[in-house]
C-alpha cells in the first residue's frame, strides 16, 4: 500500500499541483473519432460546457486531445490538430481555474498551446517526433512521457514482450535520460505506462500488477485506463458499460501510488480516489504508532 506522506508541488504554467493527494484529469477529446466520445465536443461551446461540468465534479486537470490515438486511428495534419486544439486550450485557460494538459506529440501544437495558457504536455510518443524534445524543453512545462509499442494504426496487431514490466521500465528510464540531456529537468517529468498502447490483455494485467515498481526515482505516475478495451475483455462489457471496471482499476492505481488518473467519469472517480486515500492515510497513521 502506497504512502501519502511525501508532498511535492509541480508548477504547471500559472498554476501548480500538490501531489500529497492524487488528482483527477478529465478527458476532453476534440476529435471526430476517439473511441469513447469522438465527435461530442467538437464545437467550442460544447467543449467548454463539458469542461465546466468536469471541474464542478472535482477535476483539477483537463486533458485536451486533437488527434485520436485509439487502435487503428489515422494521423491528422499539423494544421488540423492546431485548429482543433489551440482555440480550445486558450478558451479553457482564460475562463477556468484548472491545469490544461495537451495530449499531443506534435511540436507545433506544444509550442502554440504553451503560448496560450497550457500547463502540461502529455505525449503518447514520449517526445519521439522530430523537434518534440526541443519544443517541450522550450515550453518550460511539465511533460508526461508514455510508453507504447508501435503506432495507433498498428499497435494492437501483434504486441510482444519478453517481460512487459521490465521493458516498459527500461524504455521510460531511457526517455527520462534523453529529456534531461535536452534540458528538461527531472522535476518536470511524469510517467505513464501506456495501458492499451501496443499491449495485449495479459500485458496490461501484468503491467498493472507491477505498477508500484514503475515509480522511477519518485517521478509521478499518470494512469489512464478509463473505459479501455482491457476492461471490456475481462468483463465482456461495451464501452458505455465499463464504469465499474474503470473504478476498480482507479482504486488499484491509487493504492500503487498513481498521482494523476485520466478519466471520462470525474465525479465517480474522485469518490473512489478519496476513499482509497483515507484508508491509506489510516494505515500510515497506524504504522507510525
* Catalytic residue (one of 84, 125, 199, 262): 262
DSSP string for 158-175: S---SSHHHHHHHHHHHH
Q: Are strands 15-18 and 9-12 parallel, antiparallel or unpaired?
A: antiparallel
The rounded distance, in Å, linking the Cα atoms of 93 and 109 is: 15
Please name the residue that has the C-alpha cell 510518443.
125
Q: Is 288 a catalytic residue?
A: no
The CA-atom distances, in angstroms, between 200 and each of 27, 157, 159, 203, 243 are 23, 9, 6, 5, 20
* Catalytic residue (one of 84, 199, 228, 259): 228
Q: Is 40 a catalytic residue?
A: no
Q: Which residues contact 115 (CB under 8 A, 6 or more apart)?
A: none
Query: Does residue 195 contact residue 224 with C-beta atoms inside 8 Å?
Result: yes
The CA-atom distances, in angstroms, between 166 and each of 121, 161, 162, 163, 270 are 25, 9, 9, 6, 30
Q: Which residues are catalytic?
A: 228, 262
Amino acid at each position: 500500500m502506497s504512502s501519502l506522506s511525501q508532498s511535492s508541488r509541480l508548477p504547471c504554467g500559472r498554476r501548480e499541483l500538490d501531489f500529497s493527494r492524487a488528482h483527477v484529469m478529465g478527458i476532453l477529446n476534440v476529435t471526430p473519432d476517439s473511441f469513447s466520445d469522438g465527435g461530442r465536443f467538437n464545437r467550442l461551446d460544447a467543449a467548454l460546457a463539458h469542461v465546466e461540468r468536469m471541474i464542478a465534479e472535482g477535476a483539477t486537470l483537463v486533458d485536451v486531445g486533437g488527434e485520436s490515438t485509439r487502435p487503428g486511428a489515422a494521423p491528422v495534419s499539423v494544421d488540423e490538430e492546431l485548429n482543433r486544439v489551440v482555440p480550445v486550450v486558450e478558451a479553457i485557460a482564460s475562463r477556468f481555474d484548472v491545469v490544461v494538459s495537451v495530449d499531443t506529440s506534435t511540436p507545433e501544437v506544444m509550442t502554440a498551446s504553451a503560448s496560450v495558457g497550457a500547463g502540461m504536455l502529455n505525449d503518447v510518443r514520449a517526445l519521439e517526433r522530430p523537434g518534440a524534445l526541443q519544443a517541450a524543453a522550450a515550453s518550460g512545462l511539465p511533460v508526461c512521457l508514455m510508453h507504447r509499442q508501435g503506432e495507433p494504426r498498428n499497435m494492437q496487431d501483434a504486441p510482444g514482450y519478453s517481460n512487459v514490466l521490465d521493458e516498459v521500465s527500461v524504455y521510460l528510464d531511457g526517455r527520462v535520460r534523453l529529456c534531461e540531456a535536452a534540458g528538461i529537468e527531472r522535476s518536470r517529468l511524469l510517467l505513464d505506462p501506456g495501458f492499451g498502447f501496443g499491449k495485449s490483455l495479459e500485458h496490461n494485467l501484468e503491467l498493472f500488477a507491477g505498477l508500484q515498481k514503475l515509480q522511477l526515482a519518485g517521478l509521478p505516475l499518470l494512469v489512464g485506463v478509463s473505459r479501455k478495451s482491457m476492461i471490456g475483455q475481462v468483463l465482456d462489457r461495451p464501452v458505455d458499460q465499463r464504469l465499474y471496471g474503470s473504478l476498480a482499476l482507479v482504486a488499484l492505481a491509487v493504492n500503487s501510488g498513481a498521482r494523476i488518473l485520466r478519466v471520462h467519469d470525474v465525479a465517480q472517480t474522485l469518490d473512489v480516489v478519496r476513499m482509497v486515500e483515507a484508508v491509506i492515510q489510516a494505515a500510515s497513521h497506524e504504522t507510525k504508532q
